[in-house]
Every structure is written in C-alpha cells, then in structure tokens.
C-alpha cells in the first residue's frame, strides 16, 4: 500500500424512527422499515444464489459484499444459515465498508427487530474495534467467519485474496454512492470470483450494468421488489478485465502444503505466548496439538506477573504500526472470546496531541484527552502466564514437559526428538522458540531452516515495588519511555506495582541487575506516584529475554531454504525477467511464529490467526501488503535484491 491506509470514518445513524436507519452522509435510508428485510432476502440472498447453495448443502459457502452498512445482509445471511444449514456446512462472509456504523447505534437498531435477535446478537457481540484493515470475526462455534475489511473497498480488495461464489453489490443509490459501483472496483470483484460466481444488486442503472459486464459478468434483469421495477443478478463467465496479483511470487502462500487434521498431530515447540496461541487456533480448527516445553505454559520470558496490551503510536502509519493496530484489535477479540481476566486503562503521559491516533484511524471513543496525557480506554494489562494457561485449556491440546533436541523430516511428516521420550511423529511442526534459541548458554533444538533467519535476544528487566501512600490509589497503567502498573494482586498474584522495562542487547555487566533496578527506580520517579524511595529489600527484579528481528516485526509463516531462494530468484533480481517466476520453495509442513519482541501479548494473537489460516488453507486475515514484512523469506529476498533491481 502506498501512503497511509484509507481513513475509516465511524458514522452515526439518524433514526427517523426506531426501525428506520437513515444516513445523513448519503441522504438515503439503509433499508426501509416497511419491507427492507424482505427486499434484502429477495434481492441478495435469493438473487445471488445463496439460499439455493444453502438448501443444496454445499460444504463451504463463500459470500462477498460491497457495503456492509448496518450489517443487515450479513444478519439475514447468518439467520438463514443458523436455521437451515446442514451439519458440516460453513459460511465465509467477506465484506467491505468505508463508513462503519457505531456499535451503540447498531444495538439500538436491532433492538427494534426481535425477529433477528439470535443472528444480530452474534454480530453485536463480536463487533470489532473500528480501525482500518481486516477484522476476522468467528461465530457459531467457528462455523461462521466474517471478514470485515474497513477502508476504501477497491483498495482493500486489491490487498485481499479469496474466492467468492455469491456477491451482494449493496450500497446506497448509485447517484449517492458512486464509489460502490466504480468500474475499477469490479475489476477486483472479477479477480476474487470463481467461474460461475453469481452476484446481485438492487440497482439496474445502465452504467452500473456496463461496469459489471466489462468485468466478465453476464447480466440478467429480474422483477424488482415491491414498487421497484427491476433489479439485476449476474453470473461470472470471465475473463473480463484481469486484476493484478496482490502478492509477488516470493511471498505467495500458494506453494505451502496444507495438511488436514487427519494427517496427524501438529508439534508445537514452546508453550509461551506464541506457542500457546497457535496451539489454541489449531485445536479450534480441529487439529490435535502436542506442545513441547519443559517449563510449562508461560514460565520463561512470558512469565512476568503483568504484561501490557497497548497500541503503537506513530506520526504516520507504517508496517509496524499497522501490524500493531491489527494485533490490538485481534487481541481484544481474544480477551472476550476466551474470557481472559484483564485490567483496562493506559495513560500515555508522553502524548497530548491525538493527531497520530486520528491519522492512524483509531475511533474517537477508544481514547480520551486528559490534562495529564491521552488515556487509551481499550488498552490495559493481563497476566501473561494466565493467558498462556487459558489458551492451552482445550481437549485437543496435550502439553509434554520435555525439551526438544532435534526435528527431522521424514518426507511425509516429522520425527520430534525430545529428552525422555521416544521419537514423536507429527504431520507438521511449528517453532515458537523465543530468545533461548539464540542465547549462548542454551542448547537449542536443531531446526535447520530456522537457524539462518537473523534474530537476536534482547534482555529485559522489570522490578516489583510495594504500594506507597500515593501509588496505592493508581487505577491505570502509566506509560512514557517505560511503564508502571497499578497494584493488582487479584490479577498479578503479587501486591506490588510492576515497573519496566529495560531493552538491552546480549552483552551485560556482572552487576547488570542492580544497575537496571536503580535505573528503573530513577526513571519511574517522573510520575508523582513513584517519587518516593524504596528500601532495597522491598524491590524485587525479574529478568527475561525477548527475541527480536532486525526490522522489529515478527517472523510468521512457512520456513524455507535460502539457497533454493537464491537459485530461483537471484537472476531475476539482477535484471532477469520477473514474469512467470515460481512461488517460494517452502519446506512443507515447517512453520514458525517467533521474534515477537516486546509485544508478545498482542503480536501472538494476530500472528497465530495469520499462521493458522496459512496452515489450513484459509484466507489470510490481514492486508496482504504486510505479508512481505512478516514472511520468514523476507530477509533472504532483501539480500538478493540489494545488488540488483528495485
């Protein structure tokens, strides 16, 4: 994506009455209280062939929509699925919206439609933080997934890759909202359509029909609903106007081998934040998971009493801040879905101007400007060890407290060698090793394709100090080049404030712990609550090691052989032809989720979602231009590009 992500504007409904939502921006109703539900069922659910596919029992139904609006089409589609779907059927719904509606207004609207309560409650319970990008929402025990992409539809589609069988071309009247029927938009619609895909729209305007036909659809007029004379349905016969691939071949996931649950268990090395998170995702997808970790869940770097889930504030959106934004939104969903105990409220005493938050698309109700700084109302702290423990509480996950020494490919799977165990057979393996992988006094397991990736351990120290006369009343976590938490014994297990954290490379002094303890005490004195002194015996320290990549972003995806990469792409990057290059030669069944740095809590959540979709052949739940900043091959590709073309 060139430039900042498209601005997402959260809008409010003008209620003409409790059952009639009206948009002041587009000067039109979202739907009519008289017959809006029946019209949507007729025009979209019936016209696109969705109801027919549902009745036929097609195993996986893929629906695409331009214009989510108040979510009526989704709610009706979900309602029909809940009532009429057959065992084993799944629904995937891909929707695009530039002006999402505020949650409070949706709650008010659907309260007036009790006949839709079951489906609308699912939407309201899972409605995301309205930030730009892709939001992946799971409902009905995972049988229903809604990908809600917020931003300009054409741009968001260009950063997506999936295939749709049924399209809803919604939106307000074309004169009020011409962008929803832009010819360039339908180029992307065609790219995302299977041959035979069917679409439907309430409008039959000539210029709209011509745009759809130019993209490769055959148009059919049908009688309109109620007083409307006609509407249209269409079938994709292709090829129309070819769209461009969203990913270059060296970052494509097409060559990744998807192995189904029946192929055997997945071995996950590590039970920290990354390992526990990907284990949970895979278990929910139906895989048996074996976690190898002699320390147990969250007992090494992930074992601090408290950890922050925070947002990345940048002057302008960049890959790190965009990924961090997606990570926060996904972690907030995980907090709710798993019922993870947490404490909300972070006060950024180093920020007083909300412009960076506005530029990054954070909704106004997610923060508050105070005389002391900006309060982040959606951020807070959790107990990382409890988070890891809750994540692996699943009947398909088994924890083995054995240290892995090596992983060997058998061609069809892997043999994992661990101390005290005979070789364990797994169909796939995921390495979530943290800094132990790079510490000189630790013998890491032998995983050849992981070793060449440039990563380094970063030392981090926190201290625990007792509550004082001023600090005992602190209700939110203070953040400014460091952080200080409230005393939260019911959450952390200790009646103390957590102050952190240092960020230091591998080389340390013999008395580094004492040096860092004194430094953290001095730095915390910038907040009045911590301006007092502490007896030395009352201060406790904890040291952990993070694993970080050179570009500060995690490493997520299939492992690969850098020598094979050089053989395939080296000539092209030195002036050879770029067309018709093969996809990246990955090591089948070998994956990683690592290098989460100092944001392991939130990065593990979005990272595991991305990796589990990758491993199961699903849609990657992120804007695809970010993949090149996350893929394990990126360091080798950059090295190949350096002496060649840009």
Give dist(CA 430, CA 611) in Å, integer: 10
pLDDT digits (tens, 9 = 90+) for 527-583: 999 998 888 889 999 999 899 999 999 999 999 988 888 888 887 777 766 667 788
3-state helix, strand, coil in the chain (%, to 5): 35, 25, 40
| DSSP string covering 171-196 | -S-TTT-GGGG-HHHHHHHHHTEEEE
Q: Which of 438, 453, 447, 460 lies closest to 414, judged by CA?
A: 447
| DSSP string covering 554-590 | -EEEEEE-HHHHHHHHTTGGGTS--TTPPPP-EEEEE
Which residues neighbour 529 within 8 Å (Cβ) at sequence distance 6 or greater?
A: 468, 470, 471, 473, 474, 478, 484
Task: Please tell me whether residues 93 and 105 are part of one structural domain.
Answer: yes
Give dist(CA 188, CA 479) in Å, integer: 43
Task: Please tell me whether residues 272 and 220 are part of one structural domain.
Answer: no
322-359 as b/e, with b when 16 or more CB fall inside 10 Å? bbbbbbbbbbbbbbeeeebebbebbbbbebeeeebbeb
Q: At which of 211, 226, 246 does a domain end?
A: 246
Q: What is the DSSP letter of 154?
A: H
Contact status, residue 132 vs residue 145, Cβ threshold 8 Å: no
Residue 73 lies in a domain: yes
Contact status, residue 285 vs residue 261, Cβ threshold 8 Å: yes
Which strand ranges, in their side-by-side order, compose the sheet holding 14-17?
14-17, 20-23, 28-29
| Cα-trace Rg, the chain | 26
Range list of H helices, 478-627 = 489-492, 512-524, 562-569, 600-616
Give dist(CA 370, CA 360) in Å, integer: 20
Q: How many domains does the chain have?
A: 3
CB 523: neighbour CB atoms within 10 A? 17
Give dist(CA 474, CA 530) in Å, integer: 10
CATH number assigned to the domain comprising residue 265? 3.50.50.60
Residue 1 lies in a domain: no
Contact status, residue 136 vs residue 145, Cβ threshold 8 Å: yes
pLDDT at 76: 98
pLDDT at 240: 63
Provide the β-strand partners of residue 90.
60
Give dist(CA 582, CA 618) in Å, integer: 21
Which strand ranges, in their side-by-side order, compose the sheet holding 555-560?
397-400, 289-292, 266-269, 428-431, 586-594, 555-560
Give dist(CA 101, CA 26) in Å, integer: 13
Residue 506 lies in a domain: yes
Give dist(CA 424, CA 552) in Å, integer: 34
Residue with token string 């109700």? 365
Task: Please tell me whether residues 497 and 629 are part of one structural domain.
Answer: no
Residue 469 lies in a domain: yes
528-555 as b/e, with b when 16 or more CB fall inside 10 Å? ebbeeeeeeeebeebbbbbbbbebebbb
Give dist(CA 482, CA 307) in Å, integer: 12
Provide the β-strand partners of residue 292.
269, 400
Give dist(CA 126, CA 141) in Å, integer: 13
Distance, CA of 56 to chain centre? 32
Task: Please tell me whether residues 443 and 463 are part of one structural domain.
Answer: no
pLDDT at 299: 86
Task: Please tell me whether residues 140 and 273 are part of one structural domain.
Answer: no
Give dist(CA 331, CA 95) in Å, integer: 21
Task: Please tell me whether residues 135 and 207 are part of one structural domain.
Answer: yes
Distance, CA of 627 to chain centre? 12
Residue 4 lies in a domain: no
CATH number assigned to the domain comprising residue 479? 3.30.9.10
Residue with token string 């005493």? 349
Residue ranges of the chain whose pLDDT lies below 70 = 1-6, 240-245, 253-255, 437-444, 505-506, 576-579, 643-646
Give dist(CA 68, CA 626) in Å, integer: 24
Q: Which of 117, 162, 155, 146 lies closest to 5, judged by CA?
A: 155
Q: At which of 540, 563, 592 does a domain end?
A: 540
Give dist(CA 4, CA 8) in Å, integer: 11
Can you give 379-423 as a three-state secondary structure string? EEEECHHHHHHHHCCCCCEEEECCCEEEEEECCCCEEEEECCCCC
Token pair for 214: 């130019």
Task: Please tell me whether residues 570 and 625 are part of one structural domain.
Answer: yes
pLDDT at 470: 93
Residue 201 lies in a domain: yes
Residue 89 lies in a domain: yes
Q: At which of 507, 540, 573 does a domain end?
A: 540
CB 138: neighbour CB atoms within 10 A? 16
Range of the domain at 296: 250-300+389-454+551-641
433-463 as b/e, with b when 16 or more CB fall inside 10 Å? bbbbbbeeeeebbebebbeebebebbbbbbb
Residue 646 lies in a domain: no
Task: Please tell me whether residues 497 and 558 are part of one structural domain.
Answer: no
Task: Please tell me whether residues 473 and 425 are part of one structural domain.
Answer: no
How many secondary structure helices (H) and strands (E) does the chain include? Answer: 17, 29
pLDDT at 446: 75
Task: Please tell me whether residues 142 and 45 are part of one structural domain.
Answer: yes
CA geometry: angle at 35 spanning 30 and 37, to 5°?
Answer: 65
Cis omega (within 30 of 0) for bond into 501: yes
Task: Please tell me whether residues 154 and 40 are part of one structural domain.
Answer: yes
Residue with token string 């692996």? 392
Contact status, residue 30 vs residue 22, Cβ threshold 8 Å: yes
Element (H, E) at 141: none
Half-sphere exposure of 356 (CA within 13 A, CB side): 17
Contact status, residue 49 vs residue 234, Cβ threshold 8 Å: no
Residue with token string 């920020």? 351
Give dist(CA 322, CA 132) in Å, integer: 9
Task: Please tell me whether residues 106 and 126 are part of one structural domain.
Answer: yes
Contact status, residue 276 vs residue 392, Cβ threshold 8 Å: yes
Q: Which of 111, 93, 130, 128 lies closest to 21, judged by CA?
A: 111
């Amino acid at each position: 994506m060139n430039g900042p992500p498209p601005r997402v504007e959260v809008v409010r409904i003008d209620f003409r009455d409790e059952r009639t939502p009206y948009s002041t921006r587009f000067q039109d109703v979202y739907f009519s209280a008289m017959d809006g539900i029946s019209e949507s069922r007729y025009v979209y659910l019936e016209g696109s062939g969705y109801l027919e596919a549902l009745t036929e029992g097609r195993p996986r139904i893929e629906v695409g929509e331009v214009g989510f609006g108040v979510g009526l089409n989704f709610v009706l589609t979900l309602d029909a699925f809940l009532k009429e779907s057959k065992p084993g059927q799944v629904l995937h719904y891909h929707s695009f919206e530039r002006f999402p509606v505020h949650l409070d207004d949706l709650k008010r609207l659907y309260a007036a439609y009790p006949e839709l309560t079951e489906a609308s409650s699912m939407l309201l319970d899972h409605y995301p933080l309205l930030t730009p990008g892709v939001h992946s929402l799971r409902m009905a025990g995972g049988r229903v997934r809604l990908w809600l992409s917020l931003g300009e539809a054409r741009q968001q589609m260009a950063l997506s890759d999936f295939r749709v069988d049924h399209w809803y071309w919604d939106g307000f009247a074309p004169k009020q909202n011409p962008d929803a029927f832009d010819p360039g938009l339908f180029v992307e619609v065609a790219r995302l359509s299977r041959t035979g895909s069917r679409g439907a729209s309430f409008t039959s305007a000539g210029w709209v029909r011509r745009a759809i036909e130019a993209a490769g659809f055959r148009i059919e007029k049908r009688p309109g609903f109620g007083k409307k004379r006609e509407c249209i349905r269409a079938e994709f016969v292709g090829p129309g106007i070819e769209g461009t691939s969203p990913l270059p071949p060296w970052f494509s996931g097409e060559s990744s081998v998807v192995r189904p649950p029946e192929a055997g268990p997945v071995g996950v090395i590590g039970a920290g934040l990354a390992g526990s998170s990907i284990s949970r995702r895979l278990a929910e997808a139906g895989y048996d998971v074996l976690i190898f970790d002699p320390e147990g869940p969250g007992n090494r770097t992930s074992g601090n009493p408290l950890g922050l889930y925070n947002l990345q504030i940048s002057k302008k959106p960049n890959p790190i801040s965009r990924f961090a934004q997606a990570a926060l939104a996904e972690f907030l969903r995980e907090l709710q879905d798993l019922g993870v105990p947490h404490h909300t409220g972070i006060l950024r005493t180093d920020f007083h101007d909300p412009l960076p938050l506005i530029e990054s698309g954070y909704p106004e109700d997610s923060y508050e400007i105070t005389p002391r700084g900006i309060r982040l109302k959606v951020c807070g702290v959790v107990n990382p060890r409890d988070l890891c423990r809750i994540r692996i509480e699943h009947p398909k996950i088994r924890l083995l407290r054995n240290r892995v020494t090596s992983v060997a490919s058998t061609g069809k799977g892997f043999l994992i060698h661990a101390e005290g165990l005979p070789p364990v057979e797994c169909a796939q393996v995921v390495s979530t090793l943290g800094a132990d992988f790079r510490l000189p006094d630790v013998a890491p397991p032998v995983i050849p394709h992981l070793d060449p990736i440039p990563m380094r351990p970063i030392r981090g120290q926190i201290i625990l100090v007792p509550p004082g006369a001023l600090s005992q009343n602190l209700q939110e976590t203070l953040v400014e080049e460091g952080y200080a938490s409230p005393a939260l014994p019911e959450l952390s297990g200790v009646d103390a404030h957590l102050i952190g954290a240092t960020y230091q490379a591998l080389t340390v002094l013999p008395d580094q712990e004492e040096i860092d303890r004194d430094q953290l005490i001095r730095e915390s004195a910038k907040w009045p609550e911590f301006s007092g002194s502490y007896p030395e015996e009352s201060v406790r320290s904890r040291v952990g090691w993070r694993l970080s990549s050179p570009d500060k972003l995690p490493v997520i995806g299939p492992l690969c052989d850098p020598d094979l990469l050089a053989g395939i792409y080296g000539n092209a990057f030195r002036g050879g032809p770029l067309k018709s290059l093969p996809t990246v030669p990955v090591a089948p069944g070998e994956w990683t989720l690592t290098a989460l740095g100092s944001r392991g809590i939130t990065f593990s959540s979005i990272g595991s979602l991305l990796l589990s979709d990758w491993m199961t052949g699903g849609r990657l739940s992120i804007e695809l231009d970010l993949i090149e900043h996350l893929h394990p091959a990126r360091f080798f590709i950059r090295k190949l590009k350096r002496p060649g073309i840009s």
